């Protein structure tokens, strides 16, 4: 049987999202949805798509993991010298998307980007498994390398260098925070008449509005 992408359809029937179900604070709603995703989603509920832009205006998109959120914004960690790190430092705006298929939900976030404090980066770095900490020293992220053996040789060198003491956080590695100006909550509904509630920052408050699907 020939597979037809055009015929791939799923009717979303799990839940709805009414204004009466949405608190005035979008972080409260995100916290509820994220907790439910942790309970229900089978793989990486904190996985998200992150979009950045380069000097030519070309968008770049990749998947990475959320490592924290609060009323200040959404935090992830990376190599500041990587492609996304350089793009964020030069053009400090980004967009993020979470997709939780088991819950038939999506959250989109857009906003400014800031570097987190050294203290925050240190705390998270030292909470990571040793292999991940060594990996941050090993990989010249986004650079062209001649083969896998380059990484393996560099890892052996790093392991020898820090055999007697735990590795410190690399100065080129740390966190970014996306400070949202917009957060949209999408809940799948039957017949493609999905629920979309958008929160836009309005001074110190948030303005909530419903969007047509």
Summarize pLDDT for 102-138 with one digit per residue, the tens: 999 999 999 999 999 999 999 999 999 999 999 999 9
Query: Which pLDDT score is estimated for 11?
Result: 87
User: What's the pLDDT score for residue 132?
Assistant: 97
Find the mean pLDDT for residues 39-62: 96
Given the residues 14, 192, 207, 210, select the one marked as catalytic: 192
Cα atoms found within 13 Å of the Cα of residue 45, Cβ hemisphere only: 18
| Percent of the residues in the chain that have a pLDDT greater than 70, as a whole number | 99
**Token pair belonging to 198:** 């958008």
| Strand (E) or helix (H) holding 196 | strand 195-202
Structural domain for 204, as ranges: 11-75+83-122+176-210
> How many domains, in total, are found in the chain?
1
- The reply to whether 58 sits in an annotated binding site is no
CATH classification at residue 184: 2.30.110.10
User: Is residue 28 over pLDDT 80?
Assistant: yes
91 annotated binding-site participant = no
The dihedral region occupied by 104, where left means phi > 0, alpha psi between -120 and 50, and beta the remainder, is: left
Q: Is there a binding annotation on residue 18?
A: no
Is residue 162 annotated as involved in ligand binding? no
pLDDT digits (tens, 9 = 90+) for 165-186: 999 999 999 999 999 999 999 9
Using 50, 70 and 90 to split pLDDT, how confident is the model at 77? very high
Is 59 a member of any domain?
yes
Q: What is the DSSP letter of 103?
A: G
Question: Domain for residue 155, yes or no?
Answer: no
* Per-position b or e across 39-66, b if 16+ CB within 10 A of its CB: eebeeebbebebbbbeeeeeeeeeeeeb
Nearest CA to 78 out of 17, 20, 141, 126 is that of 141
141 is in an annotated binding site: yes
* 138 part of a folded domain: no
Residue 93 labeled ligand binder: no
Of 83, 81, 96, the C-alpha closest to 56 is: 83
pLDDT single digits (tens) 202-211: 999 999 999 9
| 128 assigned to a ligand binding site | yes
Active site residue 192: yes
CB 118 within 8 A of CB 174: yes
> Does the pLDDT value for residue 3 go beyond 80?
no
In this prediction the pTM is 0.93
């Amino acid at each position: 049987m020939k597979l037809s992408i055009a015929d791939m359809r799923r009717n979303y029937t799990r839940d709805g999202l009414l204004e009466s179900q949405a608190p005035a604070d979008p972080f409260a709603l995100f916290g509820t949805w994220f907790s439910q995703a942790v309970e229900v989603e089978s793989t990486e509920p904190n996985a998200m798509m992150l979009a950045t832009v380069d000097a030519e205006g070309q968008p770049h998109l990749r998947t990475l993991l959320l490592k924290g959120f609060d009323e200040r914004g959404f935090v992830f960690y990376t190599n500041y010298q990587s492609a996304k790190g350089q793009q964020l430092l030069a053009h400090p705006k980004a967009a993020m998307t979470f997709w939780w298929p088991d819950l038939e939900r999506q959250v989109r976030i857009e906003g400014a980007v800031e570097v987190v404090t050294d203290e925050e980066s240190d705390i998270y770095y030292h909470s990571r498994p040793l292999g991940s900490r060594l990996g941050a020293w090993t990989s010249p992220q986004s650079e062209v390398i001649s083969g896998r053996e380059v990484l393996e040789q560099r890892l052996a060198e790093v392991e020898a260098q820090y055999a007697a003491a735990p590795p410190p956080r690399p100065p080129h590695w740390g966190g970014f925070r996306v400070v949202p100006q917009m957060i949209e909550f999408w809940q799948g509904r039957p017949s493609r008449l999905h629920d979309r509630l958008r929160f836009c920052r309005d001074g110190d408050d948030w303005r909530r509005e419903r969007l047509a699907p």
